[in-house]
Amino acid sequence: MAHEPLSQEELLLEGFLALDTPEGYRAEFIEGDIVVAPPPDGDHEGYISVVMKQVTRKSATDMDISGHKGLKLNRGGRCPKNYVIPDATWAPTSAGLFWGADSWMPPEGVAMVAEVTSLRADRDREVKRHCYALAGIPLYLLVDRERGSVTLFSEPDNDDYQQVVTMPFGKEIEVPAPFSLTLETTDFA
């Protein structure tokens, strides 16, 4: 029985899944492009550390957190097959999502993802935002170092979020349920 030849995107996806990236590097497959990123700089890790600590300490719901968890966002539309690695991923502890999960897990049950902008900030601002919304991830928190702001995207509908709140560094931003917390950004200013 003859098999149909793989499409270019399927070939790229196969190549991506077989990648052996150098230690510390991470590879993502976003809108048909293989993106390999070097280890983050210290400031990047400082920002994400501040966010992770506050969310863990202040959240109204007990949350598990994963730094750099692979999410498989295969939902069609603008983002048919995407394998992304948010800087932080939260899920209710009661869901036990991370235990026994494959390297690339589906997004169902994820409560929030966070990104801190790096070399390709537009990927975080635009492309990943649309992919996360399409996957139905309720909250996307973006720390934009170049713009000096924190943005919370909520209420995903199709391939975008319906609510967008942006605050400059130094101001507080409210993160709704299930977190129900005020995120302080004074350490970012």
* pTM recorded for the entire structure: 0.85
- CA–CA separation, 91 and 14 (whole Å): 29
* pLDDT of amino acid 78: 52
* pLDDT of amino acid 96: 93
Q: With beta carbons less than 8 A apart as the criterion, state whether 53 and 36 touch.
A: no
Point out the residues of the chain with pLDDT beneath 70.
1-3, 6, 8-9, 13, 16, 28, 75-80, 189
- CA–CA separation, 82 and 14 (whole Å): 12
Site of tokens 């030849």: 5
Break the chain into its structural domains and give their ranges.
41-188
**Topology of domain 41-188, per CATH?**
tt1808, chain A (3.90.1570)
CA-closest candidate to residue 88, choices 74, 69, 75: 69
- CA–CA separation, 51 and 45 (whole Å): 10
Site of tokens 């959240």: 59
